[in-house]
Structure 1
Amino acid sequence: MRPTRYPRLLAKLPACRLGALVLLRSQAGHVLLVDPDHLDGLLLPGGPALPNEPPHLAAARHLHAQTGLLRRVTQLLAVDFTPADRYLERLNLVFDGGVVTDREEQRVTVPPRCRSGLHGARFADLAHLSALMSPAQNARVQQALANLGRALPLLVHGQRAA
């Protein structure tokens, strides 16, 4: 079967950002959050995928750039669509980053603010998340936590992401 092409659909791609985030937990059950200088409140480490960048690779890239931690992430915990407001509409994928060792927790490092756009990063107790995050960010984290143990695999062009 010959593939069909739709030049009008490809002429102007839809304006939608793809956010790739990582839920990473300490052995005590705390969640790693970053403090961006451009938003109020803390959020999960991560950021936008580059054009044509697989979201799991974007999530791992941002996690490493923001915290120094290396993780292979391929399990989806939550998908959150955010309609356009101050920014373009966006689809945020939350990946399971697993549990860090005590040694890894001590090695979390945030690059200087001028390079990272972050004030810092810290592991936060689950009981305090609602006070530290916006309601939408908190709801995203709570849903991702609720989905631990029943994550979905990420497929890239029909194959499990490696």
Structure 2
Amino acid sequence: MSHAEPPLYQRDPEAWKQHLAEGNARQARKRVGADALLTDSDGRILLVNPSYKPNWDIPGGMAEANEPPDTTVRRELEEELGLTLSAAHLPLLCVDWVSPHGPWDDSLMMIFDGGVLTATQLSNLRLVDGELDEFGFVDLQHAQQVLRPYVWRRLDAAVRARTTGATAYLRDGRPD
């Protein structure tokens, strides 16, 4: 009976580390965006009007390199609206795989539940870094009118997920 040679990771840990690094360099990278569903006590949804695109959007933004999505959404809310979320855990409501479009590769877009804002949080909201022209609270019907259709579908799925407790998985804004 022949004795098999031990796997590379046991024989040569440094060679194994190099092998993993080469694989990591060749594998696809995905952009990740993280937004927050935030409401006031009347159930109206916070939307933002970015200065760099034509439509209103859900507050949040794109992850930096090696940044966890929940950290992304907290950072973006602080940088753009001066909002610090106190909840230790932000429940994930929706993940949307967005296929390649225009000059963009595919991406993963997430919506976390930022909860109902307190009176203090509402009074402290402000435009901070110049990326936003304005913000406001709207009902679902108005949100559908001002959001791009795929962003609206993502938000609608997140609102339903907040009610049902089941995270939504979408492809291009549609249930899989």
Q: TM-score range by the shorter chain?
A: 0.7 to 0.9
Query: In 1, Cα distance between the equivalents of 2:25 and 2:98?
Result: 25
Query: In 2, Cα distance between the equivalents of 1:151 and 1:64?
Result: 27
Query: In 1, Cα distance between the equivalents of 2:123 and 2:62?
Result: 26
Query: In 2, Cα distance between the equivalents of 1:62 and 1:151?
Result: 25
3-state secondary structure, aligned to 2:76: helix
Which of the residues 115, 120, 141 maps onto 1:98? 115
**2:172 match:** none
Residue 129 in structure 1 maps to residue 143 in structure 2: yes
3-state secondary structure, aligned to 1:70: coil
Which of the residues 56, 62, 75 maps onto 2:91? 75
Q: Higher helix proportion, which one?
A: 2
3-state secondary structure, aligned to 2:110: strand
3-state secondary structure, aligned to 1:148: helix
Letter aligned with residue 101 of structure 1: T
Choose 2-11 or 50-59, whichever is displaced more. 2-11
Q: Deviations over 1:109-162 (max 9, x none)?
A: 012xxx33211111112221111111111111100000014155xxxxxxxxxx
Q: Deviations over 1:31-69 (max 9, x none)?
A: 111111222211111111111111101110001111111
Contact 1:35/1:118 (CA < 8 Å) preserved in 2? Answer: yes
Residue identity (%): 29
Query: In 2, Cα distance between the equivalents of 1:7 and 1:44?
Result: 36
Residue 65 in structure 1 maps to residue 82 in structure 2: no
3-state secondary structure, aligned to 1:105: helix
5+ long unaligned stretches in structure 2: 1-6, 11-15, 168-176
How far the C-alpha of 1:8 sits from its partner, in A, is: 4.0
Structure 1 moving runs of 4+ over 6 Å: none
Contact 1:33/1:124 (CA < 8 Å) preserved in 2? Answer: yes
Q: CA RMSD in A?
A: 2.0
How far the C-alpha of 1:78 sits from its partner, in A, is: 0.3
How many residues of Structure 1 are paired with residues of Structure 2 in the alignment? 149
**2:47 match:** 33
**1:117 match:** 131
TM-score by length of 1: 0.83
Query: In 2, Cα distance between the equivalents of 1:60 and 1:119?
Result: 20
